[in-house]
Structures are given as structure tokens and as C-alpha cells.
Chain A
Amino acid sequence: MKSLNKMVIEILNNVGAISKNRALSIEEISRETKVNVESLRKALEELRDMGYVEFITRDRQRRYFLTPTGILVALSSYS
């Protein structure tokens, strides 16, 4: 996994974006990760293809959260 993608799923876990009702917008994720929105958009798409991230649309805005598999992969470095 690219180091950016690894960092993104780890931070999504650490800030608690692990369910639909705690999903974050790309701008919020950008603030947490200090990564620009464009790079983040690409990373989130790749993570979605891998099944680690999903999004919901609320107020015409995509909000992202980790899937159960994404949580376990995010923590795989630490167990």
C-alpha cells in the first residue's frame, strides 16, 4: 500500500471515522491529515477500490468512513 494511503486509513481510524454517522468530508480529512484535497481524492478512490473505505452522500457532499476490513488493515501495523 502506498504510504499516503496507509496514513489516510490510519488517521481515519484514529479520528473515529469508522461508521456512516461518523463519516468525514474530504475537507475535514484534509485538515486531519494535512494532505491537499486533490491528492486525498485520489487516495480515497484507491482505498475505496480496495474495499477499505466507503462514502455516503449527505447534504450533497461525500463523507468517507472506514469499512470493518479497513479498520483491521489500518491497525495491522500495531498488533
Chain B
Amino acid sequence: MLTWEYPPRIVGGLARHCWGLSRALARRGVEIHVVTLEFPETPLEEEVDGVKVHRVKVEIGNPNFLVWVLLFNHFMEKRSGSLFREVGEFDIIHVHDWLTVLAGISLKHTLDRSLVLTLHSTEMGRSGALSSPDSSTKDSIEWWGTYEAKYIITVSDSLKSEVVDHFKVPEWKVVVIPNGIDVHVFERNVDRSRVRARFRIGPNDRLILAVGRLVPQKGFQFLIQAIPKIAAKHPNVKLVMVGDGWMRGQLEDLIRRLGVGDRVITTGFISDSELIDLYLSADVLVVPSLYEPFGMVALEGMAAGLPVVVSSVGGLRQIVEHDRTGIWVYPGDVNSIAWGIDYVLSNPDQARVLAQNAKRRAKEVFSWDAIAERTIKVYERAMGW
């Protein structure tokens, strides 16, 4: 398995996906080698929960991002080639997103093995339009990956449609397998007052949680603008935003301009353990994304037993059923986001039912073991079994 991010290198949902899937595959007896990129103070070689992790050092850099991607693909290919000689033949090469497609294609041809590509999003979706040469290049690499792969896995139906329409891929070649979740990690007791105090939240405050990279597509700018409207009805409302990203400064400026600095707390990156504590201590989780092929954060909130308010886009529409396992709001619509949050905060009995349904759905549909089983079936088909 080739991926540019694997814990502790966690940029987005891709790292968590590869982490959950690889461990679940190992539990089912698959010998799995993850080839990924180096990260400070992390061993280059280690075995975690049965997964053999090989982190490559990118020995040559280049200021241009795309050239850097080419370079790290070269070093991944080199390490994978030496692994092939060290541990014996692999059956399948599984790559994630365009970032490792080039190494995957090369390995497919030199080792004569089937290539499986998981797409977690597309450049067209992320950028909204292929308006720059870099965007077009990424789009072309994605297309090449879809052409070379024996099977393509997408994490939602909406992403499958996007891939089939945009890359003109035959439908039979694309298999939808969602992200999974370890529900049991959310099954622990926390002292909500203590957790809240750590983030300057009072025990009686209404705590809204938002988690994700601070980039425009996540839509946090609209959530912040909704806060004054929600505060008019719920004076003790607070918003904790977990995550970091290049947009953090702009969002903090917006918080200052709106005068909601006493209500909105940005934490930056926090540990997984602290994040789970927050999930278990919040009143509502909001996922206000503009583009979200899956929406791992929504699934985490559901597994934690939180009522979730999500934009009705992409994979979020598939994970969350409106008014059954959560609430849909219009993407980029401040009034709609405020309405959704108010609905949950003002109807505690209904919020409890939504949360219970959501937790059950997370457990039944999105367990990593079930996801791994479906992935193995794709591997078997790719191998011609």
C-alpha cells in the first residue's frame, strides 16, 4: 500500500483511512506493507499492529510541489522495489489518490502486478475548476491512474459518479467502499466538566464542535458567521474548532471582526485522545464542508454518539440520513447552518434520538473489519480469482 500520509503524519482523512484499513487487513491475515513518507522523530521502519510500515526519506528536494511529488514517488518506487526483493512477491499494489499514482503505475508494469487505486477526492472537486496548470496536471495524473488501475475504489457513491462522469471510466471498474471507524475507541467515560475546562468551556455552555483542516473547502468561514445568530437564541453557546491549516489566520481575523472571540476557540492540532474527549463532551458536531467526498469527521461524531449537523454535499449525504441520523443544511449558507444547530440545541429529545440512530449506523455499516472484507474481495477480483 502506497500513501503519502500515514500516522503520525496526518494531513487529512487519508492517513486515518490507511491506518484503519491496513490494521484491519492485517487482522484478517493479509501481509501488508505500507510505503509512506518520513516524519520527524518517527522510525523509518516499524511494525504496528501487524502492519509493516516503511517510511522513505525524500533524499532530493525541489521547491516546486509537483516536482517534489515526482521525487517522492521515485523514492517510494525504489523502496517498494527493494521490498519486492527482500520479502518476496506482492500480489497487489494499492495506491491512494493521485499523489502516489505514478509510483503505482511504474510498479504495476515493472513487477507485473495488478494496481488498485483508491480515490478519496478528485482535483476537479477540490479546486472547483481546473483553472491552473498545476490543477490540470493533477487531474491528468488522476485520469492516468483510473486508466491503469484494474479496479478503482471510491469512498462514496457521489465520488463514484464524479469519477465515472469526469474520467469516462466504465461503471463496473469502480467499487464503492466507504471509510471505516473504530467505534470502540469512543466507548469510554470522560469527565465532561474537566475536558471542557481544559478548553475554557463551562459545564453549562452549549458546546459546538468542528474538526478538520482549516482550508476553504471545509466551510468553517460560514460556521463562524453563524455563531452570532445562534448566540442570539443560545447565549451560552461556544464553538471549538480543532485542526490547523493555511487559512487559520484568516479565520482568526474573521472571529475578531465578528466580535466572537469569547465564543470561538481554535485549538490547532491536538492528540487523538484529546479529540475523543472533546467528541464525548460536546453537544453537537458541525461539518459545514463545501466539498466532501466522504466526511470522516461526521462518522467520528456519529460513533461518539453526538448529534451531527452536516452540509448536504457529497459523501455526507450518504453517511448521514436527514432527520434520522443527523441534520442536513445547505452548504455555504449561514442561515441554514444556524438553523440546523439551533434545531439540535432546541430539541434535546430529538437530538438524542438522532445521536442514538447515528451511533448504531456507524457501528453496523462502517466497521473497519467489514470494510477490509470488502477490500479483500476487490483484491481477489483484481488478481483474477
Enumerate chain A interface residues (CB-CB to B < 8 A): 1-2, 6, 10-11, 13-19, 32-33, 50-51, 67-69, 71-79
Contact = CB atoms under 8 A, between A and B. Distances in A.
Nearest to B217: A77
Contact of A71 (B9, B14, B246): B9
Interface residues of B, number: 35
B164 interface: no
A79 B39 contact: no
B348 interface: no
B63 A76 contact: no
B269 A76 contact: no
Contacts of A50: 248
Given A72-B269, A79-B12, A15 B63 contact: yes
Nearest to B62: A14
B255 to A, nearest CB: 15
Contact of B269 (A6, A69, A74, A77): A69
Contacts of B244: 69, 72-73, 76
Interface in B176-224: 213-215
Contact of B11 (A14, A16, A51, A78): A78
A40 B346 CA distance: 50
The secondary structure that dominates the B interface is loop
B247 interface: yes
A6 B246 CA distance: 6
B246 A76 contact: yes
12 contacts: A14-B68, A15-B61, A15-B63, A16-B59, A19-B40, A32-B63, A50-B248, A51-B268, A67-B40, A71-B39, A76-B213, A76-B246
Given A6-B246, A68-B40, A71-B39, A76 B65 contact: no
Given A1-B246, A1-B247, A16-B58, 5 more contacts: A14-B62, A68-B41, A73-B246, A76-B215, A76-B245
A78 B99 contact: yes
Interface string B329-347: 0000000000000000000
B243 to A, nearest CB: 9
Given A15-B62, A18-B40, A1 B248 contact: yes
B370 interface: no
Nearest to A67: B40
Contact of B9 (A2, A6, A17, A72): A72
B245 A73 contact: yes
Contact of B63 (A2, A14, A51, A68): A14
B64 interface: yes
A68 B39 contact: yes
B65 A14 contact: yes
Contacts of A10: 65
Contacts of B10: 72
